[in-house]
Amino acid sequence: MASLSLSFPLYSALDLSERRRQPPAARGLRSGSCPIFAVNREVLIPLEKPIGYTGADPYKISSTSDPLMAGELFGGHQSPSVNPRVTWEGCSVLLDINDGDRLVFARLSPAANLKIGDKKCSLRPLIGCPFGSQFRVEMGPNGPYLERCIHRPTLAANDMAVREKGNEQVESESKDNRALVDNNTAQSLSCEDIDAMRRDGATGNEIVEALIANSSTFGMKTVFSQEKYKRKKQKKYAPKVLLRRPFTRSICEAYFKKYPTRIGFLRIDALSLLLSLANISAYSDVLLVDMVGGLLTGAVAERLGGTGYICNTYFGGTSYPLDIARIFNFSSEFDSRIVQAPFSFLCSAENHDEEDRKLHESDQSSGIQSITKKDSLTKCDTSTGSTLVQEEQPLQNDNSSLDEELGNTKETLSSGHEGLHENNASINYKSVNPRKQASSDAIKMWREKGFNSLIVAAPELEVDDIVKKLLPLLSYSAPFAIYHQYLQPLATCMHTLQTSKMAIGLQISEPWLREYQVLPSRSHPQMQMSGFGGYILSGTRICNNSEACNGNQ
């Protein structure tokens, strides 16, 4: 049950509205961090372009809605653990403003606000609404507010009629744009007129209608141009907000569109392939190297559904940022199942305790984790450690305290991370903490049994070396998948694995994704596509141990 009494205001987040403008080379390579790429002089990353949302279907807007009713209509609050389709207070959401023009991750609370254009709107009306609902900015006596648009089948039918008209028109095109001259005189409404309408309380849609009525060229346009014109004006005068579920699909697409470097250019089709090729399934114990900001961790956790375990491993003293995993709405049972461990812990059995102490010390000095938090997390690990071999056992009794602590954890943890979140303090409630250390029981178990899957997404590391190190941690016959932005490191890695006979079924593949515009008599591939989705090396670990597989050598 997620209706929580939060006393502090929450508005979070990560506004992806401004895409960093950088030359492609700079986006792909952070200087100095990837010596291996030096050998790739001839390998160019194809220019990456955003996949646009098709906009193939304009959203319909009606003027009647009652956001307060939404909760009742759709069963009010639901338990977030059962794949909820209605938002709750404290829920993480993706706000899609004007068909993907702006994408904002936010956490819903009565006090949270969102600025759209020059208007600041409360997010309170979004609480208790189904995902997929759409809102429009309206002016009320107390300033701008978000009003829910209710779709009506009749409106959809109207839209259908427009389509059909368009269809006929294409077949026997009677209009074309030859008479349209772009001289800025077509619109007779001035800015002052529009301001005056606003002061008189006109809705956004009324302004759009007025603009159309006062356009001398609108009637001369083809049906499709008319639609385009209308959509453009709606974006400006009646901006809309679509409430999306923060799922792997939407999160990956949002980052890929706005900040591809933060996820190592890992496109949704490549990510999907990694999950399939590594056979991620319920109850799996999955070993990860996630250097794509936590997107991989979140995606794998989503597939595990609160079962199995994710162990993120890292090389050197510092673990990698995993903040994106916090955007997912995972219930508390997920949290105990996402842990991390330095590689040295996973492979060496003996002086673990010694190293553990050292890690504590180094953490303290580098300020990554505070000692108090560390202790409490270790406590919670021990409790999960005991559930490792049994069925999952929700940690309900200490849930509340756990969440609070994770809240604190979050503040400390992400303060160093390149300002990814506008307001760190605001992301906490219910978000997972992917950076807890694995308990020694868990590590011991993994060392004995092996992991069931391995995914490496380390676009900046030399994969050859780390894959050679990680494969022995995988149980026999377990599949693995390695993602890289460059082809050559994977080729080298594949060759190493072939010669060392550690794996079979080795395959390098490159995903390719093309989106289409499908409209009556106007279907074609979209003008823009992403030219680059990275490369994947996949295979299956084999038993090459002469003792275990007697007689095969």
509 binds other proteins (CB under 8 A): yes
* Contacting residue, 45, 159, 209, 218, with other proteins by CB under 8 A: 159
The gap from C-alpha 509 to its chain's centroid, in whole angstroms, comes to 23
286 binds other proteins (CB under 8 A): no
CA atoms within 13 A on the CB side of 29: 15
Give me the sign of the Cα torsion angle 191, 192, 194, 195. Answer: positive
Structure token digits, residue 58: 């304009």
User: What letter would DSSP give residue 451?
Assistant: B
Would you call 227 exposed, middle or buried from its count of C-beta atoms within 10 A (0-12, 13-18, 19+)?
middle
8 binds other proteins (CB under 8 A): no
Shortest CB 113 distance to other proteins, Å: 23
Shortest CB 124 distance to other proteins, Å: 19
The residues, any chain, with a CB within 8 Å of residue 389's CB and separated by 6 or more, are: 445
Binders in 423-482 for other proteins, by CB under 8 A: 448-450, 452, 475-479
Residue placing its CB nearer to other proteins in the complex, 361 or 510: 510
Strand-pair category, 285-290 with 453-457: parallel
Structure token digits, residue 367: 């300020």
Are the C-beta atoms of 293 and 262 separated by less than 8 Å?
yes
Shortest CB 339 distance to other proteins, Å: 17
Strand partners, 419: none
Binders in 85-104 for other proteins, by CB under 8 A: 85
Residue placing its CB nearer to other proteins in the complex, 8 or 512: 512
Residue placing its CB nearer to other proteins in the complex, 5 or 553: 553
Binders in 526-545 for other proteins, by CB under 8 A: 535, 540-544
Encoded one letter per residue, x for contact with other proteins by CB under 8 A and - for no contact, window 298-327 reads: ----xxxxxx--------------------
With H, G, I as helix, E, B as strand and everything else as coil, classify residue 410: helix
507 binds other proteins (CB under 8 A): yes
Encoded one letter per residue, x for contact with other proteins by CB under 8 A and - for no contact, window 23-62 reads: ------------------------------xx-xx-x---
* Contacting residue, 268, 291, 368, 455, with other proteins by CB under 8 A: 268
User: What Rg, from alpha-carbon coordinates, does the chain have?
Assistant: 26
Residue placing its CB nearer to other proteins in the complex, 211 or 300: 300
Residue placing its CB nearer to other proteins in the complex, 59 or 343: 59
Strand partners, 14: 105
512 binds other proteins (CB under 8 A): yes
150 binds other proteins (CB under 8 A): yes
Binders in 350-389 for other proteins, by CB under 8 A: 389
Question: Which residue, chain included where needed, has tokens 């693995």?
Answer: 480
Q: Describe the crossing of helices 191-199 and 204-213 by its angle, rounded to 10 degrees.
A: 140
* Contacting residue, 78, 225, 281, 399, with other proteins by CB under 8 A: 281
User: What one-letter code names the amino acid at 332?
Assistant: S
Best CA proximity match to 315, nearest among 360, 349, 352, 347: 347
547 binds other proteins (CB under 8 A): no
Tell me which stretch binds other proteins (CB under 8 A): 5-13, 22-30, 120-128, 487-495: 487-495
Residue placing its CB nearer to other proteins in the complex, 211 or 503: 503
Please, which contacts does 176-184 make with residues 24 or more away whose CB atoms are closer than 8 Å?
176/222, 177/220, 177/221, 177/222, 177/225, 179/220, 180/217, 180/220, 180/221
* Contacting residue, 83, 177, 382, 401, with other proteins by CB under 8 A: 83
Encoded one letter per residue, x for contact with other proteins by CB under 8 A and - for no contact, window 122-141 reads: --------xxxxx-------
The residues, any chain, with a CB within 8 Å of residue 520's CB and separated by 6 or more, are: 163, 164, 166, 167, 170
Tell me which stretch binds other proteins (CB under 8 A): 148-156, 360-368, 404-412, 431-439: 148-156
* Contacting residue, 45, 74, 193, 356, with other proteins by CB under 8 A: 74
276 binds other proteins (CB under 8 A): yes
Structure token digits, residue 72: 């009742």
Question: Which H or E element spans position 286?
Answer: strand 285-290
* Contacting residue, 247, 344, 356, 383, with other proteins by CB under 8 A: 247
487 vs 34, 35, 265, 483, 535, CA distance in Å? Answer: 14, 15, 14, 10, 6
190 binds other proteins (CB under 8 A): no
Shortest CB 151 distance to other proteins, Å: 5
* Contacting residue, 143, 419, 505, 531, with other proteins by CB under 8 A: 505
First to last CA, the chain: 58
Best CA proximity match to 2, nearest among 92, 123, 94: 92
193 binds other proteins (CB under 8 A): no
230 vs 54, 63, 149, 192, 436, CA distance in Å? Answer: 16, 16, 18, 20, 51
224 binds other proteins (CB under 8 A): no
